[in-house]
Amino acid sequence: MTRRPLHLSGALFAVLALPPVARQLESSMAGHMAVQVPLLVLCGILAFGAVPESVRRRLAAWDRHGLVGLGLALSAMAYWMLPRWLDAALADPVVELAKFVTVPLLWGMPLAWAWSRLGLVGRGFVAAHLVALAWVLGWFYANAPARMCANYLLEEQQTLGSALLALGTAGALAGLLRVVVGAPRPAADGQPLRLDGTHVLGNH
Amino acid sequence: MRAATALAAVLVAGSATLWQATDGLRAFTTEAARRLAVEAAPRRLPAATLEDQDGRSLRIADYAGGIVLVDFIYTRCPTVCTQMTDTLREVAAALPSRLGDGIHLLSISFDPDNDTTHALRDYAALQGADPTWRFARVVDRGDMPDLLEAFGVVVLPDGFGGYVHNAAIHVLDAEGRLAAIHDFTDVEGLVARLERTS
């Protein structure tokens, strides 16, 4: 176990939770949905790097292939992509607190866990799903004639749409690059890397 | 077996949470959610004092016993406010005998700085409004946030001196509660609702 990911996660979380930073990011729909929320997910991914091996082994007994973690992460993702709950996070401090707690814990950490357990096909499915989702949502937000969030202007919604289309395209190009050039540098022991950069746990 | 149980539990819990979070897949936006919420539980409104286009004082409670159709406007609005006004005019035309006698129209400006009683009077004349239709503004600007919040109306500056806001026709019941919210073009739905209350 290493403490470094936890420190990084904690530092990032602390910055994101600073009221001026939160207000600034939430002042635009793109800042809220395409920057703040993904960074909170990253907090969870980084924090997962500090989970001890003994805990991971116990988790593996319940979720050998990472499907439980994936189900949890996708459920949390679906929840926080609902426009009404993004609105509610702006209007209600309790919902805002829930966002800061559940996005790292129920989306980021389970996603990191699932990624560490999934095989090649599973990872490909998740990556393709996320790219497709970013494109579909991006197209929708860029072209929807009506506002989805009560707290953001139509122009901000269109900007978010463009940002999601760009993110999806970047993800697709990164995936394509991996296919063409090959997998990224493996660890010294030949194990592939997790989302948080630490080694994948062997099967037990 | 344990893995299958855990997976089933997560899928059931995730689905139930999303079902709850969307009111049974019926409300994905704040606007849809507020409409369902007031239909399920009519909402009491704050006792703000308003003044109409003729400078007469009024409160929502003054309409007790009648049905009130309320929209939120600002008179410089070039788009959706005019459409809401058109809708109210069409509803009134469909039920002429009840206008001012059981059914009332009230347009509230959320821009009291610019919408003086004079501006409201000009707007009412421009729209060809029935004399019983009152166009009003809050007397105390401090009442505006509570009033908007109670109705669930969100007003944002559009960056060009105007505003963007969620547009709808609000129906107040005989007890002065917010009881229903209709699309701002839903003439048929509003007329049907009012006919049911006769």
Q: Taking CB atoms and an 8 Å limit, are A82 and B6 in contact across chains? A: no
Counting the structural domains of chain A, the total is 1
Q: Both B95 and B187 in a single domain?
A: yes
Residues B113 and B160 in one domain: yes
Residue B66: CATH number of its domain: 3.40.30.10
| ipTM field | 0.88
Q: Which of A75, A81, A99 to mutate to test binding with chain B, by most B CBs within 10 Å of its CB?
A: A75
Q: How confident is the model at residue A198 (pLDDT cuts 50, 70, 90)?
A: low
Contact A24/A81 with Cβ under 8 angstroms? no
Query: What is the C-alpha separation between A88 and A50, in angstroms, rounded?
Result: 32
Q: Does A199 touch chain B (CB under 8 A)?
A: no
Asked if the Cβ–Cβ distance from A84 to B156 is below 8 Å, we say no
User: Confidence band (pLDDT; 50, 70, 90) for A178?
Assistant: confident
Tokens of B17: 């949470």
pLDDT at position A202:
43
Indicate the SS3 state at residue B173.
Answer: coil
- For residue B16, the enclosing domain spans 2-37
Give me the average pLDDT of each 10-residue run along chain B (198 residues): 90 97 97 97 96 96 95 94 95 89 95 96 94 96 96 95 95 96 97 89
> Among A62, A72, A75, whose Cβ lies nearest the Cβ of B3?
A62
The answer on B18 and B80 residing in a single domain is no
Structure tokens at B60: 């929502």
Q: Does A78 touch chain B (CB under 8 A)?
A: yes
For residues B115 and B109, the answer to whether their CB atoms sit within 8 Å is yes
What are the tens digits of pLDDT across the range A72-99? 999 999 999 999 999 999 999 999 999 9
Quick check: B12 contacting A, CB < 8 Å? no
Among B14, B27, B166, the residue with its CB nearest the CB of A72 is B14
A195 pLDDT band, cuts 50/70/90, is low
Residues of A in contact with B164 (CB under 8 A): 147, 153-154
Is A85 within 8 Å of B31 when comparing Cβ atoms? no
Tell whether A187 is covered by a domain: no
**CB-based contact, B10 to chain A, within 8 Å:** yes
Same domain, B76 and B24: no
Taking an 8 Å cut-off on Cβ atoms, the answer to whether A84 and B3 are in contact is no
Q: Determine contact: B164 vs chain A, CB below 8 A.
A: yes
Is the C-alpha dihedral spanning A65, A71, A72, A74 positive or negative? positive
Cβ-defined contact of A68 to B22 (cutoff 8 Å): no
Helix (H, G, I), strand (E, B) or coil at B68: strand
A67 to each of A28, A101, B179, how far by Cα in Å?
34, 22, 45
Question: Which pair of structure tokens corresponds to residue B78?
Answer: 């070039």
Instruction: Provide the mean pLDDT of chain A.
Output: 90
How many contacts does A have with B, using Cβ atoms within 8 A?
70
Q: Which of B2, B7, B28, B183 to mutate to test the interface with A (most CBs of A within 10 A)?
A: B7
Q: Give the burial class of B37: count Cβ atoms within 10 A of its Cβ; 0-12 exposed, 13-18 middle, 19 or more buried.
A: middle
Q: How many CA atoms lie within 13 A of B94 on its CB side?
A: 16
Q: Is there a single domain that holds both residue B9 and residue B78? A: no
Residues of chain A neighbouring B2 (CB-CB closer than 8 A): 61-62
pLDDT digits (tens, 9 = 90+) for A119-132: 999 999 999 999 99
- The domain total for chain B is 2
Q: Is residue A29 part of a domain?
A: yes
The three-point CA angle B182-A89-A92 to 5° equals: 80
- Same domain (yes/no): B28, B78: no
Task: With a cut of 60, say whether residue A63 has pLDDT above it.
Answer: yes
Beta carbons of A151 and B154 less than 8 Å apart:
yes
Q: What is the DSSP string of chain A?
A: --SHHHHHHHHHHHHHHSHHHHHHHHTSHHIIIIIIHHHHHHHHHHHHTTS-HHHHHHHHHH-TTSHHHHHHHHHHHHHHT-HHHHHHHHH-HHHHHHHHHHIIIIIIHHHHHHHHH--HHHHHHHHHHHHHHHHHHHHHHHH-SS-SSTTS-HHHHHHHHHHHHHHHHHHHHHHHHHHHH-SPPPPTTSPPB-TTSSBPPPP-
Q: Which of B17, B27, B30 sits opposite A75 (nearest CB)?
A: B17
Q: What Cα–Cα distance (Å) separates residue A90 from each residue in A14, A22, B111, B117?
A: 19, 10, 23, 34
Two tokens at A172? 């697709």
The per-residue pLDDT for A162 is 97
Q: Are B68 and B138 within one domain?
A: yes
Contact (Cβ atoms closer than 8 angstroms) between residue B154 and residue B165: yes
**Banded pLDDT at A186 (limits 50, 70, 90):** low
Helix (H, G, I), strand (E, B) or coil at B59: strand
In a domain, A169, yes or no: yes
Distances in Å between the Cα of B77 and the Cα atoms of A70, B72, B73, B147, B163 are 47, 11, 7, 20, 8
Euclidean distance between CA atoms A43 and A52, whole angstroms:
17
A56 phi, psi to nearest 5 deg: -65, -40
Select from B151, B180, B146 the least CA-distant residue to B166. Answer: B151
Alpha-carbon separation of residue B149 from B34, B44, B85 (angstroms): 11, 12, 22
What pLDDT is attached to residue A184?
Answer: 57
Same domain, B146 and B100: yes
Q: Counting Cβ atoms within 10 Å, is residue B5 exposed (0-12), middle (13-18) or buried (19+)?
A: exposed
Residue B163's SS3 state is strand
Chain B: closest CA distance from residue A73 (Å): 9
Do both B26 and B48 map to the same domain?
A: no
Instruction: List the domain range (segments joined by +) for residue A138.
Output: 4-181
SS3 B109: strand
Pick from B6, B17, B164: CB nearest A68? B6
Written as six digits, the tokens of A84 are 């009404």
C-alpha span between A48 and A36 (Å, rounded): 19
CB contact under 8 A, A153 and B159: yes
- The C-alpha atoms of residue A178 and residue B98 are separated, in whole angstroms, by 71
Whether A84 sits inside 8 A of B27 (CB atoms) is yes
Q: How many CB atoms lie within 10 A of CB B120?
A: 25
Where residue A204 falls among pLDDT bands split at 50, 70, 90?
very low
